[in-house]
């Protein structure tokens, strides 16, 4: 405990290197962040302006887009700013805030995907009771529960981690991530965080098992449908959600179960990008590719915009 120091700033060494590599990192992150912003804001806009999309499925999709925007916005801009300004510092308060909001958005994302699986289960397995079971009051309560669960999880981990004494201020990551912050705490004092991580892992596994059971029921129901067209229609409504769940759970579990290392090839940083940036970037694309309602709303919006522009341009008489 003699090495415990009072920390005012942390040094983020993720993707640190030569000036050219820092600029390249900023350009790549900027491109990915723009894709996240454009895709998710477009989903929110399409659902907001099209009344036929005002149903539980798209209500949850809007919440997912808001969470994806939040989780990327708390880490990417800071990382880009550090690279452009050739600095690696983040203040103690900024690190606490970044970890809290990132965990809030990421945890809520997991819980919301569980709620969305239940929505698909009710729609396919109990279609006659869908309206009564998925009332707007119920949807609001489930969405609020997902946000509240994320808040409690974020508060639990953030308060636990930053109550620990630190023996260093060097974080080998491009944002304040729990595993890398635990590496710089004094090794004999993070038992409470181990219990917090165990609690979150058990809850995350519960969500994952609930999603798996829901889709087992869905697949069983779909295979009993006599019409091949109805089977395909049911599967196409589930494919985007299954894909999103697989990407988020797969990259997240792989990242947290692979031991952190000091690899010269920035393996930890690449894995972190896989679960922090790639899912929010792909989600709007995945939900749009196989969704006829989203496609129709998008073409309607583009047609309205282009029509307005054409009206503003006066005709040329020869």
Reported CATH class of domain 9-292: mainly alpha
> What helix, strand, coil percent values describe the chain, rounded to 5?
75, 5, 20
Provide the residue ranges of all domains of the chain, joining segments of one domain with +: 9-292
**pLDDT greater than 80 at residue 256:** no
Q: Which residues are registered as beta bridge partners of 166? A: 5, 185
The more confident residue out of 124 and 255 is 124
pLDDT digits (tens, 9 = 90+) for 87-116: 888 999 999 999 999 999 999 998 999 999
pLDDT digits (tens, 9 = 90+) for 108-137: 998 999 999 999 899 888 988 898 899 999
CA–CA separation, 37 and 40 (whole Å): 6
Please report how many Cα atoms fall inside a 13 Å half-sphere around the Cα of residue 92, on the Cβ side: 12
Confidence of residue 261 (pLDDT cuts 50, 70, 90): low
**pLDDT greater than 70 at residue 5:** no
**pLDDT greater than 60 at residue 311:** no
Confidence of residue 260 (pLDDT cuts 50, 70, 90): low
Query: Which two tokens mark 248?
Result: 């988020």
Contacts of 266 (CB under 8 A, 6+ apart): 14, 15
Q: For position 32, what pLDDT does the model report?
A: 93
Q: For position 166, what pLDDT does the model report?
A: 86
Quick check: helix, strand or coil at residue 89?
strand
Pairing relation of β-strands 170-171 and 9-12?
A: parallel
Confidence of residue 240 (pLDDT cuts 50, 70, 90): confident
pTM of the predicted model as reported, rounded to 2 decimal places: 0.84
pLDDT digits (tens, 9 = 90+) for 7-34: 788 988 877 667 788 888 889 999 999 9
**pLDDT greater than 70 at residue 177:** yes
pLDDT digits (tens, 9 = 90+) for 185-206: 876 655 666 777 777 778 888 8
Length of the chain (residues): 318
Task: Report the run of H or E that residue 287 belongs to, with start and end.
Answer: helix 278-289
CA-angle at 221, arms to 216 and 224, nearest 5°: 130
pLDDT digits (tens, 9 = 90+) for 203-226: 888 888 999 899 899 888 888 888
Query: Which two tokens mark 174?
Result: 């491009």
Q: How many CB atoms lie within 10 A of CB 154?
A: 20
DSSP for 161-215?
Answer: HTTS-BS--EESSSS--HHHHHHTB-TTS-HHHHHHHHHHHHHHHHHHHHHHHHH
CA–CA separation, 188 and 242 (whole Å): 41
């Amino acid at each position: 405990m003699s090495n415990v120091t009072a920390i005012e700033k942390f040094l983020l060494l993720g993707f640190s290197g030569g000036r050219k590599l820092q600029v390249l990192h900023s350009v790549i992150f900027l491109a990915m962040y723009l894709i996240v912003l454009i895709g998710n804001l477009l989903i929110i806009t399409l659902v907001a302006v099209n009344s036929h999309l005002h149903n539980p499925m798209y209500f949850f999709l809007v919440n997912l887009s808001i969470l994806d925007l939040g989780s990327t916005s708390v880490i990417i801009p800071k990382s880009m700013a550090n690279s452009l300004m050739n600095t690696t510092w983040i203040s103690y308060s900024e690190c606490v805030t970044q970890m809290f909001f990132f965990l809030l958005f990421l945890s809520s994302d997991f819980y919301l995907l569980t709620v969305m699986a239940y929505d698909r289960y009710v729609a396919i397995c109990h279609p006659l009771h869908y309206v009564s079971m998925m009332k707007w009051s119920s949807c609001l309560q489930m969405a609020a529960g997902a946000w509240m669960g994320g808040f409690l999880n974020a508060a639990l981990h953030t308060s636990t981690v930053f109550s620990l004494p630190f023996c260093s201020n060097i974080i080998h990551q491009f944002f304040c991530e729990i595993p890398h912050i635990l590496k710089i705490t004094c090794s004999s004092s993070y038992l409470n965080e181990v219990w917090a991580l165990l609690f979150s892992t058990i809850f995350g596994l519960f969500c994952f098992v609930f999603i798996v059971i829901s889709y087992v029921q869905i697949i069983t129901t779909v295979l009993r449908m006599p019409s091949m067209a109805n089977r395909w229609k049911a599967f196409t409504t589930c494919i985007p959600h299954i894909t999103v769940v697989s990407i988020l759970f797969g990259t997240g579990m792989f990242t947290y179960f692979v031991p952190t290392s000091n690899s010269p090839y920035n393996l930890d940083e690449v894995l972190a990008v896989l679960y922090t940036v790639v899912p929010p970037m792909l989600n709007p694309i995945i939900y749009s590719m196989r969704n006829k309602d989203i496609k129709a709303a998008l073409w309607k919006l583009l047609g309205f915009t282009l029509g307005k522009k054409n009206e503003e341009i006066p005709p040329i008489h020869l």
